[in-house]
Chains A and B, each alone.
Chain A
């Protein structure tokens, strides 16, 4: 079946630094990637949608200069949290879809900003 690998699973960073999260589709070509944010005991909130080779489409209220999304290849998308602050601490999850494939989720990244 389709597999999406997300790294790192956990990261702690200092306030003001940037953190990059990677999402790779291992056995299919991901034409579209979705990035979600999830607060404790809450649902998944879509942050942005990216199609390979195009700029990401951000949901209302999501700062595109703070959450940089790159989808330069059919197997890799990255989310960079720039100038991270404690309020950016959250669980970030990617989801990939490809031709003939539904949504496959990564295992998530727990970001803690101290």
Chain B
């Protein structure tokens, strides 16, 4: 089955700096790569996702890059703010058209943004 590795496990940055979280996956059949933000005691919230036919996607301060050959993808947050502090999870799965298979999650990264 799919195996997703996520690094680093903790990341501490100063407000305004950039943060990068990296993930690798093992199953070449995976073609859908979402990133989730989870705050304490809450469910994960999708912040950005990318499909394997795209190499990069950006949404304001958040961007995701995908290298299919190397089987790794990264989350980039620019101009970080204290409210970005949370646990971030990457995931990988197989999505065909409008159908989605199960997701495999990375171990999570605790991001702390210091004012």
- The answer to whether A6 and B43 touch (CB under 8 A), given A44-B89, A44-B105, is yes
Q: Provide the bound-state CA to CA distance between A41 and B45, in Å.
A: 17
B42 within 8 A of A: yes
Q: How large is the interface on A (under 10, 10 to 19, 20 to 34, 35 or more residues)?
A: 20 to 34
CB distance from A39 to the nearest CB of B (A): 11
| Docked-complex contact B98 and A103, CB < 8 angstroms | no
Return chain A residues, CB-CB under 8 Å to B98: 99-100
Task: Determine the distance from Cα of A42 to Cα of B106 in the docked complex, in whole angstroms.
Answer: 10
User: With A44-B89, A102-B49, A103-B34 known to touch, is A93 a contact of B44 (CB < 8 Å)?
Assistant: yes
Point out the residues of chain A lying under 8 angstroms from B105, CB to CB: 43-44
Query: Closest approach, in angstroms, between the C-beta of B75 and any C-beta of chain A?
Result: 15
Bound complex: CA of A105 vs CA of B38, how far in Å?
A: 11
Could you tell me the distance between the alpha carbons of A47 and B89 in the complex, rounded to whole angstroms?
18
Q: Is B41 an interface residue (CB 8 A)?
A: yes
Known: A43-B108, A44-B89. Contact between A103 and B43, CB under 8 A? no
Please give, as numbers and ranges, the residues of chain B lying within 8 Å of A100 by CB-CB distance.
Answer: 98
Q: Which of B31-66 contact A (CB under 8 A)?
A: 34, 36, 41-46, 49
Interface of A is mostly: strand
Q: Is A93 touching B43 in the complex (CB atoms < 8 A)? A: yes
Alpha-carbon separation in the docked complex, A47 to B71 (Å): 25
Given contacts A43-B105, A102-B100, A103-B34, contact A110 B43 (CB under 8 A): no
Would you give the shortest CB distance from B56 to chain A, in whole angstroms? 19
**Chain B residues near A (Cβ < 8 Å):** 34, 36, 41-46, 49, 89, 95, 98, 100, 102-108, 110
What are 28 pairs between A and B in contact, CB < 8 Å? A6-B43, A34-B102, A34-B103, A43-B89, A43-B105, A43-B106, A43-B108, A44-B44, A44-B105, A46-B103, A49-B102, A91-B41, A93-B43, A93-B44, A97-B100, A99-B98, A102-B46, A102-B49, A102-B100, A103-B34, A103-B46, A103-B100, A104-B46, A105-B45, A105-B46, A108-B41, A108-B43, A110-B41
Which A positions have Cβ atoms within 8 angstroms of B? Answer: 6, 32, 34, 41-44, 46, 49, 91, 93, 95, 97, 99-100, 102-108, 110
